[in-house]
Structure formats: structure tokens, C-alpha cells
A = this chain, B = another copy of it.
Amino acid sequence: MHGAPPLPAQPQSCTPAASLLTRLGRWSVRQFTAALKPIGLKPRHLATLIELRNAPLPQQSLGEAVDVDAAQLVGLLNDLESDGLVHRRRDPEDRRRHIVEISDVGRERLAEADRALADVDARLMAGLTPEDRARFVTLLRFVAEHGGFEEECAGRSDVSPCVAAAEEDECGSL
């Protein structure tokens, strides 16, 4: 580790977190696409349904939640609505807004999807102990909620989860 290497100390490039995420993300998308095909959903459509699970949302908020811009969201919602999985209605308080709500059929589809997804997750974390799985999910969730995002993060001072043993609060209420 200290034998005067010929190259300039062979700098970083140690496959950092973001680099690993791009790779694992693509793997996940492929797995999701395959796992969801039998039930007629694509990853984005599912993500949209998930965000609508707890409450109806106007398209703007929904787009932010799913992380797609307004233009592509239109197409996703057209697909979902023509399959009867969601409904759009105008907001009486501001008639520019369309409130999107998941339907009962949509909830059933969501349940099917959950079963398929559980399998993907199982494969993904196959080699991890239950403790490490919990830690992993906790960290992913924290980073997804607090990470990066330019301005948003500027004035922030949230505290790292510091996952000691990754408590059992896995599926809390989310």
C-alpha cells in the first residue's frame, strides 16, 4: 500500500455510490419490467399507482412524487385511465387542476404487483442477512428522501439514520 506506484496515486474512481446506483437501478428496471409484464404494468405506471395509494393528487404533485415531468405523466395517466386503474376529475376549487384518484381495480392491480415485486426484492438482496437487508432499505429510503436535490438540500440539517441494528420498523405506514 506504500510502494511508490508509477501512476499518480491511482485516484478515486472506487465505484462510488452514485455509480453503483446507476448500475443497480438499470438492473432493477429490467427486473421490474419483466416481472410486471404478466400483469400489464410498466415500472412507471406502477410507481404512479403507488403514489396514489394513500390519497388522490393533482397531476403536478403526482409528477413530483413519481419523479416524471408533467408531459410524460400525461401519457402514463392515459394508459392507466384507459385500463380503469385511475380516474381524473377536475378540481372544483381550481378548474385548471386534474385530481387523480386510484380506483378499486387499481388497488387490486397494485396488490398483484406487490407480490411480483417482492420476488424481485428477494433476488436483489438474496445474499444479505435480514439485518443487512433492513439496513440497506433504511439507507436507501433515507438517501431517496434527503439526498442531493440541489436547493432542497441547502438549508437542510436532517440527521443520518445511523443504522445501528436497523430496527424492525420496516413497513411502518409507507
> Which one of A55-63, A78-86, A124-132 contacts B?
A124-132
- Judging by beta carbons under 8 Å apart, are A13 and B53 in contact? yes
A-B contact pairs, 18 of them (CB 8 A): A12-B117, A14-B174, A16-B118, A17-B125, A18-B28, A18-B32, A20-B137, A21-B21, A21-B28, A21-B140, A23-B25, A24-B144, A24-B147, A27-B148, A124-B148, A127-B147, A127-B153, A128-B160
* Known interface pairs A31-B148, A32-B18; A126-B153 also in contact (CB < 8 Å): yes
- Judging by beta carbons under 8 Å apart, are B25 and A24 in contact? yes
Which bucket holds chain A's interface residue count?
Answer: 35 or more
Which of A12, A16, A50, A123 has the most B CB atoms < 10 Å from its CB? A16
Given contacts A17-B140, A18-B117, A129-B162, 14 further A-B contacts (CB under 8 A): A7-B107, A12-B117, A13-B53, A15-B50, A17-B125, A18-B32, A22-B47, A25-B29, A123-B149, A125-B147, A126-B147, A126-B148, A129-B160, A135-B139
Q: Answer whether residue A105 sits at the interface, using C-beta atoms and an 8 A cutoff.
A: no
Q: Answer whether residue A4 sits at the interface, using C-beta atoms and an 8 A cutoff.
A: no
* A147 cross-chain contacts in B, Cβ below 8 A: 24, 27, 123-127
- Judging by beta carbons under 8 Å apart, are B18 and A31 in contact? yes
- Judging by beta carbons under 8 Å apart, are B146 and A126 in contact? yes
* Known interface pairs A18-B31, A142-B127; A12-B118 also in contact (CB < 8 Å): yes
